[in-house]
Structure 1
Amino acid sequence: MDVVSLGETMILFSPEETGQLRYNRQFTSRVAGAETNTLIGLSKLGYRTGWISRVGGDELGKRILSSVRGEGVDTSFVKEDGSAPTGLFIKERTTADSSRVFYYRNQSAASKMTPADIEENYLAKAKLLYITGITPALSVSCKETVFHAIELAKKNSMKIVFDPNVRKTLLDERTGRDTLIKMAALSDIILPGISEGDFLFQTTDCEKIVRECKRLGAEKVIVKLGEKGAYYSTSEESGYVHPFKVETVIDPIGAGDGFAAGVISGILDELPIHEAVKRGCAIGAIVTTVNGDIEGLPDKETLETYMKRTNKEDVIR
């Protein structure tokens, strides 16, 4: 196993029309969740991944299991909980270039995860534990589960990759910040965005965000700059990676998860850090050109073709 993660995956309902949700009548549905987006991205690139979670003992839960398993992710440790529903969320496209999301996940099956859901022998088979800041915000038991997973990963000498993935609608600002900073302090590789750096450290300066993460103990920090690319720093080098130009953005949601898959794949392949980050930028760009969180995630051949078609040089300093 290369990467294991834990977290909630839901069903996303997207309107086919633009405008306020009250006027939308036609919807499409997809499977979506930050952690499984990244795991599926890695699976498509040829890596072995595993997911730990709960889904409801309902048709939506069965659809999620079928979809995630069908993308090559191991779901052996996903429990079907007949006492709680599968979560869902609805997207509203308020205008052609802006949207917002409404979550219906309170008391969902995934929010009832407990430390007992983590099997140490299964977790220890992986090289990396991938975690986000979403899961501990779902419930007290989910928070305990995440920190238990971190403890087991440390015990088994696994590297921990942390994407803060801040969801302000789920977090109490003060306690939420404290929790995410504690997670960052226990992680080896941190992947914050600018807005997440602002939430955690009250700065949008990517170099200051890096310094704060390193002060907490991170070995590698990669700051996502969206359409401006990314900034990375290790103990040996730091620098910027230029973005891959996207002519038309169809759907930006899920790009960060694709970015994480690209960076993690580069780390697993032991690429130089700037090459790993370049791979992340490429996948993030590809994902924005397709409607849906996982539909645009490329296989290795597609990724290599896309990257060769561009002539971007990154700046190392």
Structure 2
Amino acid sequence: MEVVTFGESMVLFYPDATGPLRYATSFRKTIAGAESNVAIAMARLGHSVGWFSKLGEDEFGRYILSVIRGEGVDVSRVLTDSNRNTGLLFKERFGFSNPNIYYYRKDSAASRLSPEDLDASYISKAKVLHITGITPALSTPAQEAVFEAIRIAKENNVIVSFDPNIRLKLWDIETAKPVLLEIASKADILLIGEDEGELLAGTNGPEELAKTFMSMGCTTVVVKLGKRGCYVENTDTKDYIEGYLIEKVEDTVGAGDGFAAGFLSGILRGLSLQEAAEYGNGVGAMATLVSGDMEGFPTYNQLMTFIGKRGYIDR
């Protein structure tokens, strides 16, 4: 397995019409979850990926498992809980602005994930363990599971990739900050949004953020700059990588997860930091072309065409 990741995935209900949810009468059903988004995106790019979580022993849990398995992701370590439900969320859309998100995930099956639920052998055989800051926000046991997974990875020379993915609807910044900074200090690759970096580090600008997090112990820092692209830094490289212009954005949710998948794909393929960032920018941009959290993630050939590495034949 090249990549292993874990965390909560939920069933997402997406209204057909824009405006307040109280007026919505029909919804499209799909799935949402930062970690499963990364897993699906990487599977589409041709990598072997494993994702695990806890799901309710209910129809929503079965649906999530079916979708993720169908995308070519290994789900052999997923657990079910007959006493708790699978989490849900609803999007509320207003034009082309970022949607409002309403969670129904309190005390969900995934929030009860604990260190005892980890398969150490499964994690230790991966090349990369990808973690987000959402899982430690779910509960104390879930937070403990994150740190235990990192410990296992470190003991077995597995690269730890971390995207803070700050969700202030799950915890406040005062509670989140020390936890996320501790995880960041243990990460080999930090994938962080510019606004998130300022919240956690209190410094401004991509270069200052990279300097701060590298001083904590990160080997590689990638500061995501949205449509402007990203800034990448390690001991050998410091560079800004330009993003891709999308004239009509359908949905921004999932773009950051797509970036993470594209970047990690480039790293696993042995590309330079700049080339990996180009992959990340490409997948992130393509994710915004389609409504839904994971529907817009490309295959490897589609990504190569989008970033200009391969010609396009339409018929």
TM-score by length of 1: 0.96
Map of 1:84 onto structure 2: 84
Greater displacement, 215-224 / 168-177: 168-177
Q: Does 1:163 align with 2:163?
A: yes
Query: Matched residues in 1 for 2:175 and 2:102: separation?
Result: 22
- The one-letter code matched in structure 2 to 1:214 is M
Alignment map for 1:83-232 (pairs within 5 Å): 83-232=83-232
User: Do the aligned partners of 2:177 and 2:200 also contact (CA within 8 Å) in 1?
Assistant: yes
User: Do the aligned partners of 1:5 and 1:35 also contact (CA within 8 Å) in 2?
Assistant: yes
How far off its partner does 1:136 sit?
Answer: 0.2
Map of 1:285 onto structure 2: 285
Alignment map for 1:259-278 (pairs within 5 Å): 259-278=259-278
Query: Matched residues in 1 for 2:182 and 2:12: separation?
Result: 30
Query: Matched residues in 1 for 2:148 and 2:276: separation?
Result: 29
Report Cα offsets for 1:224-272 as digits up to 9, x if no partner.
Answer: 0001110100101111111111111000000000000000000001100
How far off its partner does 1:57 sit?
Answer: 0.2
- The one-letter code matched in structure 1 to 2:23 is Y
Structure 1 runs (4+) deviating above 2 angstroms are 94-98
Map of 1:302 onto structure 2: 302
User: Do the aligned partners of 1:44 and 1:300 also contact (CA within 8 Å) in 2?
Assistant: yes
User: Do the aligned partners of 1:258 and 1:287 also contact (CA within 8 Å) in 2?
Assistant: yes
User: Do the aligned partners of 2:98 and 2:251 also contact (CA within 8 Å) in 1?
Assistant: no
Map of 2:313 onto structure 1: none
- The one-letter code matched in structure 2 to 1:274 is Q
Q: Does 1:250 align with 2:263?
A: no
User: Do the aligned partners of 1:52 and 1:117 also contact (CA within 8 Å) in 2?
Assistant: no
- The one-letter code matched in structure 1 to 2:87 is G
User: Do the aligned partners of 1:191 and 1:222 also contact (CA within 8 Å) in 2?
Assistant: yes
- The one-letter code matched in structure 2 to 1:18 is T
Query: Matched residues in 1 for 2:204 and 2:83: separation?
Result: 43
Query: Matched residues in 2 for 1:86 and 1:263: separation?
Result: 30
Alignment map for 1:12-23 (pairs within 5 Å): 12-23=12-23
- The one-letter code matched in structure 1 to 2:186 is L
Map of 1:64 onto structure 2: 64
- The one-letter code matched in structure 1 to 2:285 is A
User: Do the aligned partners of 1:5 and 1:129 also contact (CA within 8 Å) in 2?
Assistant: yes
User: Do the aligned partners of 1:251 and 1:291 also contact (CA within 8 Å) in 2?
Assistant: yes
Gapped runs of 5+ residues in structure 2?
A: 311-315
How far off its partner does 1:203 sit?
Answer: 2.9
User: Do the aligned partners of 1:4 and 1:49 also contact (CA within 8 Å) in 2?
Assistant: yes
How far off its partner does 1:309 sit?
Answer: 7.0
Report Cα offsets for 1:107-162 as digits up to 9, x if no partner.
Answer: 00000001011111111110010000000000000000000000100111111000
- The one-letter code matched in structure 1 to 2:288 is T
Query: Matched residues in 2 for 1:121 and 1:197: separation?
Result: 33
- The one-letter code matched in structure 2 to 1:205 is G
Query: Matched residues in 1 for 2:10 and 2:204: separation?
Result: 31
User: Do the aligned partners of 1:18 and 1:96 also contact (CA within 8 Å) in 2?
Assistant: no
Map of 1:313 onto structure 2: none
User: Do the aligned partners of 1:162 and 1:189 also contact (CA within 8 Å) in 2?
Assistant: yes
Report Cα offsets for 1:276-315 as digits up to 9, x if no partner.
Answer: 00000001010100111111111111111111179xxxxx
Tell me how many residue pairs correspond in the alignment.
311
C-alpha RMSD over aligned residues: 1.3
